[in-house]
Amino acid sequence: MSKSTLKFCWVALMAVAGAETAAAARWEKGYVVAFYDPAFRFGGRADYSRGTEIEPGVDCPHGSTVHFAVPAQVAQSLSLVRWRSPKEVEELANPPATGLNRDPAGVYFHTWRAASAYRGYNKAIETYINPFAAEDPGQPQVTSRIGEGFNLDGKVKPGDFVSPEGEKGVDNQLYRAWGCDAPWRGANGNGTLVLRSNDKMVEGLYTIVIRISGNKDPLNDDDATLEIGYSPDQIVKDARGNVGMDYSYRLLHSEQYTKLKARIKDGVAETEQADIHMPQIAWFENQTRDAFFRQGKIRVVPNADGTAAGLVGGYRDFRALYTQNAFAQSGGVQGVREHEDHVALYYALRRNADGMFNAKTGRYDGISSAYRMKLVPVFVVEPDRPMGIPSRESEARRRQAFDVTAAATIKAVDTLVPQEVPSGSGELAATDGIEIGPGGVPIRGRGGKGSGRNSAIPTKR
Amino acid sequence: MKLCLLFGLVGCFVLLMAQEHPPMVPPADPGVFTVKPTGPDAFKLIVKGHVFTSRGDIEKYLAYRAARLAIEKGGQWFTLKEERGAGEGVAPKRDSEGPRYSFRMKNFRPVWRFKSNGSPEWTRWSPFTGAPFLSADPKTISDFDVSAEIVVRKGPMDDADPLAFEAWALSDLLVNQVSPPK
C-alpha cells in the first residue's frame, strides 16, 4: 500500500469517526414562550362588521358573541329567569341613567353584571357559582371544519376537525364550544383576553420555557426529550419591545413541569402522548396555576429565523376551564366587559365534552383542547438549587378569593346542591364601590367584602 | 353531658348526610307517571294527576322524567316529537348558524287534557292552537294528564335542533325543582 493510499484511508477513517462523534453528541435547544393562546382558527375579516355582527366568518357565521352588548340581547337572556316579570326584564335591559353612576355606561355595566349574577331558578342562587341552575342562554359555536390540534383518541369522528395541513380526526372541542367567544376570537391574536393575557405574560406575570434535547442528529432524532415548565425568570424584551433572543431562563422542576419523550423528524419535534403539567393562560396572578392536559401532546415546528411554532393539546377538566375563565375577577364583571356569558360557556363545555370519561357519573369531565405558542430561542438552564414556584404575598387575598369561589363551584356542579357565595369570594367584591345584593340588586357603597359560607342554600323554589 | 355529646354527634352525622347526598326527586304515586314505547327508541310519556298546581310545575316534572328516561335508556339526549294537529302551526325552524343550546325550555311544549267542573269529558289543550292555557277555573280541575313523545338519541348532540334536549343538562337544572303531582 502506497503512502498516499494510507494517508487517504486515515483521513477517511477520521472523517467517519468525526461524523459519528458529531452525530452522537448531545444537542439542546431552548425556547421561551412569547405568545400563548387557545388554538382558535379565526375565519372572519378583521375590522368588518355587519349590523350587530362582529367579524362574521367561516368559523362563526354571525361573528363573535355579543352577550351583554346590547339591551335587546340582555332582555332575551333575562327573560329566561322565571321569577322576573317581563316589565322587570325590560327595565333591567334598559336601566335609567340615574342613581348608581353618573356615567350612563356605568349604569348599564353595574345593572347588567348584577342581574346576570342571579339567573337561577330561585332568587337566592348565585349563577356563576351554580351555572347548572340557570337556563341555557345559548352560545354561538364554530361551524367550520378546519381546526388546529391533535388527534388525541386516534379516531376520525364526524365532529372532528381537519388540520390546516390536512390531518383528519383533530380533537379540539374547546374550539367548537368557545371559538366564537368574543374575548378569545380575533385575527392574529387580537381577541381582548388574548391580548391581555399575553401582555401580562410578557410583562412578568409568568414565564414558560421549553427545552428539547437529544444525542443524535438535531434534525432527526428518534430518542429526544422535550421538557416544558414554569420559569421564575421574567421575560426579557429587546430594544424594540419584542421578546429577546438568547437570554437565559431557569426551568423549575415544579408541579408545572413535564418531561416527555419526543421524536424529531426533519426538525419537527413531536412528543409522546402523556399527561402534561405546565402553566395555564392567566391575566391575573390568582389564575396562575397548572394547566393539566390529560393524554397531551406537544409539537414544535422550527421557523427559518430560529423561532418556532409550538402547539400543546390534550383533554382539560371542564371545571378548571370554567373557573379559570369566570373567576379572575367575578363572573358578572368578566361577562359584561368581555361580552361573554358564563352560563352559555358552561353548557357549551359540558355539551362538547369528549374526554376524561367518568364511569361513576357516566359523563365526560374533560374536553379536548389545543393551545398555540410562539417560541423564541433562548438558553434554558437548571436553577442553582431546587426551588418552587414563588408566591406573591400581596396577591394572597385574591388567590384565596379565586380558590374558595372555584371550590364552591366545583362542589355545586358535582353535587347539584346549589352553594352560597363563600366568604371572601370575588363574587362578593365591590366593583367601582358597587356590590351585588341577593337577587341581583346592585348596592352602592355598602363596604366590606360580604359574608356567606361555602354551604348549601335552600334548593326548592 | 354525655347525652348532649351524643345528640351533637347525631346532629353532625345528619347534617353531613344531608350535605353529601345528591338531591332526589320524591317517587311518584302509582299511575302518576307512565311510559309507553311507540317505536325504535321512541316513547310516549304521560303524567297524570288530580291536584293542579301550575302548568310550569307539571310540565317541568314531565321534562325531568323525559331526561331521566333518556339517561336510563343509555342516551345522551332526546328530541321532542311535537303533537301538532291540523292547523296548529309549524315546528320551530332549525338554525344551523345560530346559537347552540343544551336545551330550550320554551320549546318543551306537551299537550294537556283535563276534566273540570265535574264533567266526565276530557278537554284537550294544545300549546300550538294559540288558545289560552285554561278555559276553566283551575280549582275545578279534577283530573289532568300531560303527554309528550320523545326519541332517545345517542352520541354527540345535534345542538342546532330546536327540539333537542341534552338529558343530563336538563336533569341537572330540574332535579331541585320538581316533585310528582298528586
pLDDT in tens, A136-183: 999 999 999 999 999 999 999 999 999 999 999 999 999 999 999 999
C-alpha to C-alpha distance for A224 and A216, rounded to whole angstroms? 8
Residue A4 lies inside a defined structural domain of this protein: no
Mean pLDDT across chain A: 91
Between residues A447 and A205, which one has the greater pLDDT? Answer: A205
In a domain, A274, yes or no: yes
Nearest-CA neighbor of A309 among A10, A21, A39, A20? A39
With contacts defined as CB-CB under 8 Å, which chain B residues touch A134? 173
- Chain A, chain B: beta-carbon pairs less than 8 Å apart: 81
In a domain? residue A288: yes
Statement to judge: residues A305 and A258 lie in one domain: yes
Of B16, B176, B178, B179, which to mutate for an interface test with A (greatest number of A Cβ within 10 Å)?
B176
Indicate whether A117 and A178 sit together in one domain: no
Nearest chain B residue (CA) to A361: B168
The reply to whether A79 and A128 lie within a common domain is yes
Specify whether A197 is located in the same domain as A285: yes
CA A284 to chain centre: 12
Name the residue among A132, A143, A344 with its Cβ closest to that of B97.
Answer: A143
Q: Are residues A215 and A349 in the same domain?
A: yes
Residue A53 lies in a domain: no
Instruction: Please give the pLDDT value at position A451.
Output: 36
- Grid coordinates representing A361 are 357519573
**Residues spanned by the domain of A281:** 27-48+144-381
How many structural domains are present in chain A?
2
| B145-174 pLDDT, tens digit each | 999 999 999 999 999 999 999 999 999 999
User: Does residue A221 sit in the same domain as residue A344?
Assistant: yes
A76 & A225 share domain: no
- Asked if A141 reaches chain B (Cβ–Cβ under 8 Å), the answer is yes
Give the CA distances from residue A403 to residues A120, A338, A367, A396, A425, in Å, rounded to whole numbers and listed in that order. Answer: 22, 22, 22, 10, 8
Residue of B159, B165, B168 to mutate, interface with A, max A Cβ within 10 Å: B159
Q: Provide the residue ranges of all domains of chain B, joining segments of one domain with +.
A: 29-85+100-174
A297 to A190, A271, A273, A370, B139: CA distances (angstroms): 26, 6, 5, 9, 64
B168 inside 8 A of chain A by CB: yes
Please state, in angstroms and as integers, the Cα–Cα distance from residue A55 to each residue in A232, A344, A440, A447, B31, following that order: 38, 20, 32, 41, 55
Q: Chain B contact for A61, CB < 8 A?
A: yes
Q: What is the pLDDT of residues A219-262, one digit of tens each?
A: 999 999 999 999 999 999 999 999 999 999 999 999 999 999 99
Is B101–A347 a contact, with Cβ atoms under 8 angstroms apart? yes
Contact between A138 and B19 using a beta-carbon 8 Å cutoff: no
A80 touches chain B (CB under 8 A): yes
Return the ∠ at Cα A60 (arms to A318 and B96), rounded to 5°: 90
- Which residues sit opposite B116 in a β-bridge? B141
Phi, psi of A136 (to 5 degrees): -75, 115
A243 vs A35: CA distance, rounded Å: 9
Same domain (yes/no): A182, A92:
no
Are both A131 and A152 inside the same structural domain?
Answer: no
- Same structural domain, A115 and A253: no
On whether both A126 and A242 belong to a single domain, the answer is no
Residue A456 lies in a domain: no
CB distance from B36 to chain A under 8 Å? no
Per the domain annotation, does A256 fall within a domain?
A: yes
Tell whether ipTM is more than 0.85: yes
A453 touches chain B (CB under 8 A): no
Domain termination residue (choose one: A335, A359, A381): A381
The answer to whether position A35 is within a domain reads yes
| Residues of B in Cβ contact (< 8 Å) with A82 | 56
Is the pLDDT at B120 greater than 50, yes or no?
Answer: yes
Residue A453 maps to a domain: no
Domain shared by A242 and A262, yes or no = yes
Question: Which tens digit of pLDDT belongs to each residue from A56-107?
Answer: 999 999 999 999 998 999 999 999 999 999 999 999 999 876 655 556 667 8
Q: Residue A411 pLDDT > 80, yes or no? A: yes
